[in-house]
Structure 1
Amino acid sequence: MPSLQDLPPFPSDVLTAPIARISLQSLLASDPSSCAATLEACRTHGFFYLDLSSTPLGTSLLSASTFLHEISHNVFNHDLPYKTAHDLVKGVSLFGYKRAGTVKTTDPTLRPDSTEFFNIAKDHLHAITPSRSYPAEITAPETWALLQAFSRDAHEVGMLVLRVLATQLGILPAAFVSKNEFGQKSGDHVRLTHKPARVPDPAAALGLPSHTDFGSVTMLFNWLGGLQIQSHDPARVGGWEFVKPVEDCAIINLGDAMVTFTNGVLKSAKHRVVDAPGEQGRVDRYSVVYFVRPHDEAVMEAVQGFEHLGGKGRVAGKFEPKVPEGEVLRAGEWMRQRAVQMGS
């Protein structure tokens, strides 16, 4: 990742979320305390730092994220017509370009967002389904190959997190892993994002309004502040706290699918993106994300052992899936409905 030392410092006088820092090396070694901390993080804050240093897998991800950060500068620097030639089709597919200005139906303020992004499908990268068009900077052979490696490595980390959580919950890892198989058609994707520096009127727009993620596991690489999650401090419950970027760490959170699979035992936490605090707000914010989502044919219901927990599986965002009577919703349709409900 680009060194945080090369950017304006994150200010010391803003509230930051006290989320856990867990090392990838310790999870790979099945360290009991680290595995227990992972479950605790996913039942409370819903977010944790994953320290990627000291492992070949982590080093590969850090190196790839640095390259993709540089590519993002180039691809978002084009004029709008160049980018909108690769627009995603709302309500049909999440893959392609999303311009800034979307109003999410889950945001009570109805402020347009100020973030643009490209979603690059794992299925396209690995020829699981035919690819759509993407900008030349993305489809260049060197970048495409790196995106293939990055998506494979990030998915592997996501599966590790799911195996750890399953073991800690006393169920077989296959209960979660089998619903998120890499080689199956799914909504898995790499996202390159760009949020311009602080806008003149912050009341007019928000980087990304409050939301929860759709899928199973999200892995975020970012270099500037701006991400916020809701506080668990009894004096500030529901208030917003920054997640400070940490050198050599990705940020991991769960999505709504894991709430459904565990009937509410695991948490998909609300989060949003605002202007970075202090002098960081004067710098454009780029991030690189990988989303692990259930493959399209995965059944969206609680896994064995979690069926009878009193209906705690309601996901955040007041999402009520529309299910034909007598049928069980599959993940492909579930994700499509989530996308429509979110307004993006």
Structure 2
Amino acid sequence: MATATTTTLSTQLDGTLPPFPESLNHAPIAEISSRKLLAKDPETTTAVWKACQTYGFFYLDMTDSDPGSKLVTDAEQLYGLSKKTFALPFEEKDKYDFRRRKALFGYKPSGSVKKTDASQRPDTTEFFNVGKDCLFDVAPSNPYPEVIQDARPLLRDFCKGAHEMAMDILRTLARAAGEDDEEIFVNLNRFEESSGDHVRLTLKRPSDESKSEIGLASHTDFGSVTILFNWLGGLQIESRTPGRIGEWEYVKPMPGKAIINLGDAMVSFSNGALKSAKHRVVESPGPQAGMERVSIVYFVRPTHHSLMKPVGKFDGEGASRIRVGGKFADNIVDEKVYTAKEWLEERYVQLSHSKE
């Protein structure tokens, strides 16, 4: 029953939006069944491993399992919450700007520029980061607008469900790698321990054709697993398709399917065996252009005390440790083993700032 309900909700929302242009090249990333993933299906385990070694992205069909169906239902409700939240006057949202408080949770306005973006293009994306630690009293909560505070039960449900699904992805990768302990990656990302995990409510406004703007500049994610729900195109990843290697390809939104990707932490834990792919957000294509683009994201990041180094079979004797630092790789001290909290603080330095 849950699956049928979720499919109906998703169909209703997608039915109000223009279709993604079929003529565009889009990344041929794998489509994985959440039912088979949760059942530890061997072929699915192999497919997930292959996806995470190549594109670093895959679709996860949420409609064929009860936990997945619940996540889609929650994401649909968070879509509505996002619309209400971003409709608030800027003066209200600006009270929660996380950059002024030197925090990771709160509001980021659009019109920001990534310090590491050579083109220095302002972005067209605003978001609210709602910390897992804040939602579950692991740490004191940051302030949020009343509309978000009132939605704490929904945010908690989505946060918990998304984290549990991500842990099953990590268990799948551990089995695929031949680890004796399938909890080896899970142990670095424990829900009950303090971390940078968060739910992100995102709104990308239409780009101004008279300006050089970008939805979100090219980047890799910091953490372990990212679970994304979106309904309009605009996400692009670097191609692995012969003849188009390194070019940008769209990731087509698929009803009932989340988009999964790994972050730099998993590259570190696997010593480069797994991939954290570069991606960016541009204007939605075709008839979707000119529309506000909402996305709902859950970021799994390692617990603050986790060490950013290879683990298990990836920590072989004499093996050199790859340098993984996203956009701050030049600042990494080779001989130092960073905690996740220290690594996160290095990434924070590279966060967006307002363009002068």
The two structures have a TM-score, normalised by structure 1, of: 0.95
1:59 aligned onto 2:66: no
* 1:183 pairs with 2:192: yes
Task: Determine which of 273, 284, 287 is the counterpart of 2:281.
Answer: 273
Confirm or deny that 1:336 pairs with 2:322.
no
Secondary structure in 2 matching 1:305: helix
The whole-number CA distance in structure 2 between the counterparts of 1:287 and 1:326 is: 38
2:167 aligns to what SS in structure 1?
helix
Secondary structure, aligned partner of 1:10: coil
Is 2:188 the partner of 1:217? no
The structural deviation recorded for 1:91 is 8.7
The answer (yes or no) to whether the contact 1:259–1:315 under 8 Å persists in 2 is no
**Deviation at residue 197 of structure 1 after TM alignment:** 2.2
2:156 aligned residue: 148
- Alignment of 1:297 onto 2:297: no
Deviation at 1:90, TM superposition (A): 6.1
The CA distance in 1 between the partners of 2:348 and 2:80, in whole Å, is: 28
Corresponding position of 1:48:
58
> Which moves more between the two structures, 59-68 or 4-13?
4-13
Q: Secondary structure at the match of 2:313?
A: coil
Q: Distance between the aligned counterparts of 2:224 and 2:289, measured in 1?
A: 30
Q: Name the structure 2 match of 1:197.
A: 206
Q: Structure 2: any 5+ residue segments left out of the alignment? A: 1-9
How many Å apart are 1:173 and its aligned residue?
2.0
Q: For 1:197 and 1:279, locate their aligned partners in 2 and report how far apart those are by CA, in whole Å.
A: 12
Q: How does 1:192-271 map to 2 (within 5 A)?
A: 192-201=201-210, 204-271=212-279
The Cα shift of 1:327 comes to 5.2
Q: How far apart, in 1, do the equivalents of 2:279 and 2:42 lie?
A: 29
For 2:138 and 2:328, the matched residues in 1 are separated by 32
Match of 1:14 in 2: 24
Residue 144 of structure 2: aligned partner: 134
Distance in 2, matches of 1:322 and 1:10, equals 41
Task: Provide the residue aligned with 1:167 in structure 2.
Answer: 175
Equivalent-residue separation in structure 2 for 1:147 and 1:269 (angstroms) = 27
2:115 and 2:206 map into 1 onto residues whose CA distance is 25
State the distance in 2 between where 1:58 and 1:41 align.
Answer: 20
Distance in 1 between residues matched to 2:325 and 2:344, nearest whole Å: 13
Structure 1 gap ranges (5+): none
Distance 2:115 2:271 in 1: 24
2:7 aligned partner: none
Q: Is the 8 A contact 1:90 1:340 kept in 2?
A: no
Q: Which residue, out of 111, 114, 133, partners 1:123?
A: 133
Q: Distance in 1 between matches of 2:141 and 2:116?
A: 30
In the alignment, is the contact (CA less than 8 A) between 2:309 and 2:321 conserved in 1? no
SS at 1:319 equivalent: helix
How many residues were matched structurally? 340
Aligned-residue offset at 1:174: 2.2
Q: CA deviation at 1:6?
A: 1.9
The aligned counterpart of 2:327 is 317
Is the 1:270–1:316 Cα contact (8 Å) retained in structure 2? no
Q: Take 1:12 and 1:326, find their aligned partners in 2: how far apart are those partners?
A: 49
Shift in alpha-carbon separation, 1:237–1:327, aligned structure 2, 3 A: closer
Stretch deviating more after TM superposition (104-113 or 43-52): 104-113
CA, structure 1 residues 330+321, in 2 after alignment: closer, same or farther (shift >3 Å)? farther
> How many angstroms does 1:13 deviate by?
1.5
Contact 1:198 1:276 in 2 (8 A): no
Structure 1: how far apart are the matches of 2:203 and 2:146?
18
Q: Quick one: distance in 2 between partners of 1:220 and 1:155?
A: 12
Cα distance in 1 for residues equivalent to 2:237 and 2:245 = 11
Q: Which amino acid in structure 2 is aligned with residue 15 of structure 1?
A: N
Q: Is this contact kept in 1: 2:217–2:280, CA < 8 A?
A: yes
User: Cα deviations across residues 188-210 of structure 1 (Å, max 9, x unaligned)?
Assistant: 00000000124233x51100010
Question: Counterpart of 1:134 in 2: which secondary structure?
Answer: coil
TM-score, structure 2 length as denominator? 0.91
Identical-residue share of aligned pairs (%) = 46
CA contact (8 A) 1:225 1:280 kept: yes
Aligned Cα root-mean-square deviation (Å): 1.7
